[in-house]
A and B are shown apart, each in its own frame.
Chain A
Amino acid sequence: MTEALLVAERLSRRFGGLSANEDVSITLERGKLHALLGPNGAGKSTCINLLSGDLPPSSGQIHYKGRDITRLSAPQRSRVGIGRSYQRTNIFGGFTVLENCRLAAQSRRQRAWRLFTDACALGDTLDKARAVIAEAGLAGREDRIAGTLSHGEQRQLEIAMVLATDADVLLLDEPLAGMGSEEATKMVALLDRLRRTRAILLVEHDMDAVFAVADTITVLVNGQLLASGSPDRIRANVEVQQAYLGDEAPASAVSGCGAPPRAPARAAPPAGTRDGSATCRA
């Protein structure tokens, strides 16, 4: 019993002569975490931008809960329930953590045209903001200026803001980027929790994390969909190994520990690591 929330069919995006995405189809289901992999420049961010409405597709269709949303703008897609985070932290650095989330929560409560109410008197918006701050593991940080948070906390805030918009679909662009291992572990646990009630698309370079939490993995290369399937199938897929690592690399390296993909492949002993789960923290 899975519910397909977001279905993208044959999405293409061309920039002049360059095809950043070509015929990419992807389905996001509630309760599932779908990871998007690919070398740098494979078109992962473009794909997220197409789904979030930051970029209009050149061709293809996107349906959300059965409704065609291909022509909707970014704000409209956010309002139907598609939330996104950014690869480079994109928060309101000068505002407090609470105000960052309050603004996000307010957008869903249709009260922005009230000119004469005190924004801080809108209790339900504030409650929502506090709740998502706690959910993202930032409780106690409400009054900190967002720009002064540690890098990892800013990434958590990114997620909290998306949650405050009541999004059912989360498009997360490298939420683990630049995080220490402890922070990353916490974030992976958070993603695992969030997945239960939502659909998540995760773009991530950290292979350990991806293979640990993903239900489905899609691999993009040169803007095209190379393979899509369960982590085990992707790990065993010869084409993926070649695209990612070149012909000479050992098969196991796909499950190695991330960017740059070549380095761990060389470092890993050629045998004995066939069992990918050895390098994936569960």
Chain B
Amino acid sequence: MTMSRPTMALLLAVLAGLFTFPFYGGEFYVEMMAEMMILGIFAMSLDLLVGFTGLVSLGHAAFFGIAAYAVALISPEYDPANLWLVMPAAILASALAALVIGLLVLRTKGIYFIMVTLAFTQMAFYLFHDTALGGGSDGIYLNFRPEPRLGEWLAFDLAEGHQFFYFVLIVLVLVYGLLVRVLRSPFGRVLVGIKENEHRMRSLGYATFRYKLGAFVLAGALAGTAGFLYAVLFGFVTPELLSWHESGQVLMMVILGGMGSPVGALIGAGSMVALEESFSMLTKHWQLLMGLVIVAVVLFLPGGLIGLPGRLRGLLLKGGGDD
């Protein structure tokens, strides 16, 4: 996973653009960008399963939603919670859920895996939808954004839009860095090996179940990180966050951006939010347009949007040769 120089330069430019974004983007766009980044983390976490381990999950929203509910439920009603407690707790809740669900669903493969992940996320959905646990179908409010309290000291203020934006950006960079390192590690190589040929991995001595479970828990924890931030951003959690709709949405982000690349997942999440926003300004039936874009990408760019530059270069070179 070594990066070419232009890719590196582009990445740095994008990063610089993001870090300065609050200075030129309006309030509305700062918040939208924060949402893109949060969904980017969510999409990267799913890509670890789909793009790197070969596990197509249709239940990934469960871990997103469980962390979101965890913050809302743990936080006191009339005071801000402590960020340094509530954030790890929310992530841990998702990781634990992923451990338990993973132990069961990873015994299946292929289409059955898709079905049981879907079944589990539906169970989680109805758990919050049909019980009073999290306010039923109405959902639950998070009245105050958590405070980063260390003793009496508050390092920053998440209630302030720009500071929240930077907090999300830093988490995004950390998650990205973590994924890149992990994928380069022996563990990451095992995951890619499982995707490529699980049977052979077993005959080479890898008890693949454990590695898949490790990936599932890590992906669940990262999805939980995104879910936590999402709840803090909107201050409101509903069962819809765990719906299979949401699971499908994040899977589409991964496919749109390009499977098997964390950057692709980020591009997918960003373009999905941007397209949704611009199409909904054009027409009430924006989902039709959205569908067309997805179909077009799948048909003409099987590698996702991240394959676009290479595709264009190929076309240009071919065009040049014809002259």
Chain A contact residues, CB within 8 Å of chain B: 52, 54, 73-76, 78-79, 83-84, 86, 90-95, 99, 102-104, 106-108, 111-120, 122, 125, 161, 165
B311 interface residue (CB < 8 Å to A):
no
A116 lies within 8 A of B206 (CB): no
Interface flags, B205-220, vs A, CB<8A=1, else 0: 1111001001000000
The 6 A-B pairs at the shortest CB distance, nearest first, are namely A78-B205, A107-B205, A75-B207, A92-B196, A79-B205, A112-B186
9-residue interface stretch from B60-68, B115-123, B187-195: B187-195
**A118 close to B185 (CB less than 8 A):** yes
Q: Which residue of B lies closest to A171 (CB)?
A: B203
What residue in chain B is nearest A122 (Cβ atoms)?
A: B186
Interchain CB contact under 8 A, B187 and A93: no
**In the bound complex, what is the Cα–Cα distance between A92 and B187 (angstroms)?**
16
**Least Cβ–Cβ distance between A31 and chain B, in angstroms:** 24
**Which residues of A have CB within 8 Å of B109?**
none
> In B175-191, which residues have CB < 8 Å from any A CB?
181-182, 184-190
Q: Which residues of B contact A78 (CB under 8 A)?
A: 202-205
Whether A107 contacts B204 in the complex (CB less than 8 A), given A90-B199, A119-B185, comes out as yes
Is the Cβ of A161 less than 8 Å from the Cβ of B204? yes
Decide: B204 and A103 in contact? CB cutoff 8 A.
yes
B207 touches A84 (CB 8 A): no
Instruction: Give the Cβ gap from B97 to chain A, nearest Cβ, in Å.
Output: 21
Instruction: Give the shortest distance, in Å, between A117 (CB) and chain B (any CB).
Output: 6
The reply to whether B196 and A106 form a contact with Cβ atoms under 8 Å apart is: no
The answer to whether B182 touches A115 (Cβ under 8 A) is yes
Interface of B is mostly: helix
Separation of A73 and B208 alpha carbons in the complex (Å): 11
Interface-central residue, A84, A86, A104, by most chain B CB under 10 Å: A104
Residue pair B196, A94 in contact (C-beta under 8 Å):
yes
Q: Which residue of A lies closest to B189 (CB)?
A: A119
A116 CB contact (under 8 Å) in B185, B189, B200, B205: B185
Let me know if B197 and A119 touch, CB within 8 A: no
Question: Shortest Cβ distance from B314 into chain A, in angstroms?
Answer: 19
Q: Are B202 and A74 in contact (CB under 8 A)?
A: yes
Measured between beta carbons, the chain A residues less than 8 angstroms from B181 are 115-116
Can you sample 26 A-B contacts with CB below 8 Å?
A54-B203, A74-B202, A76-B207, A86-B203, A92-B193, A93-B197, A95-B193, A99-B189, A102-B189, A103-B190, A106-B190, A108-B205, A112-B187, A112-B206, A113-B186, A113-B214, A114-B185, A115-B185, A115-B187, A116-B185, A117-B185, A119-B184, A119-B185, A119-B188, A165-B204, A165-B205
Q: Are A75 and B197 in contact (CB under 8 A)?
A: no
- Taking a contact as CB atoms under 8 Å apart, the answer to whether B200 and A114 are in contact is no
Contact B205–A103 (Cβ < 8 Å): no
**Contact pick for B200, options A90, A99, A108, A125, CB 8 Å:** A90
Bound Cα distance A102, B204 (Å): 11
CA distance A257 to B216 in the complex (A): 51
Task: Determine the chain A residues whose CB is within 8 A of the CB of B196 once the complex forms.
Answer: 92-95
Please report the C-alpha to C-alpha distance between residue A104 and residue B206 in the assembled complex, in whole angstroms.
9
Q: Name the residue on B nearest A107 (C-beta).
A: B205
CB-CB < 8 A to B208: which residues of A? Answer: 75
Instruction: Name the residue in B189, B193, B205, B207 with the highest tally of chain A Cβ atoms < 10 Å from its Cβ.
Output: B205
Q: Looking at A107, A112, A119, A165, which has the most chain B CB atoms within 10 Å of its CB?
A: A112
**A114→B182 CA distance, assembly (Å):** 9
A158 to chain B, nearest CB (A): 9
Distance in Å from the Cβ of A111 to the closest Cβ of chain B?
A: 5
A137 to chain B: closest CB distance in Å?
A: 20
Indicate which residue in A83, A90, A114 contacts B187 across the interface (CB closer than 8 Å).
Answer: A114
Min C-beta distance of B247 to chain A, whole Å? 26
- In angstroms, how far is the closest chain A Cβ from the Cβ of B297? 22
B215 to chain A, nearest CB (A): 11
Chain A residue, CB-CB nearest to B205:
A78
Q: Which residues of B contact A52 (CB under 8 A)?
A: 203
If A113-B187, A122-B186 touch, whether A92 touches B197 (CB-CB below 8 Å) is: yes
With both chains docked as a complex, state the minimum distance between the C-beta of B203 and any C-beta of chain A, in angstroms: 6
Which residues of the partner chain A approach B186 to less than 8 Å between Cβ atoms?
Answer: 106, 111-114, 117, 119, 122, 125
Chain B residues, Cβ within 8 Å of A106 = 186, 189-190
Q: How far is the CA of A93 from the CA of B192 in the complex (A)?
A: 12
- In the assembled complex, the CB of B84 is this many whole angstroms from the nearest CB of chain A, namely 23
The distance from the CB of A165 to the nearest CB of chain B, in whole angstroms, is 6
Q: Report the Cα distance A76→B204, complex, angstroms.
A: 9
How far, in Å, is B180 (CB) from chain A's closest CB? 11
* Minimal beta-carbon separation of B163 from chain A (angstroms): 29
How far, in angstroms, from A115 to B200 measured CA to CA in the complex? 22
Instruction: Select from chain A the residue with minimum beta-carbon distance to B182.
Output: A115
Question: Which of A104, A116, A125 is B204 in contact with, Cβ under 8 Å?
Answer: A104
Q: Is A116 touching B197 in the complex (CB atoms < 8 A)?
A: no
State whether B197 touches A73 (Cβ < 8 A): no
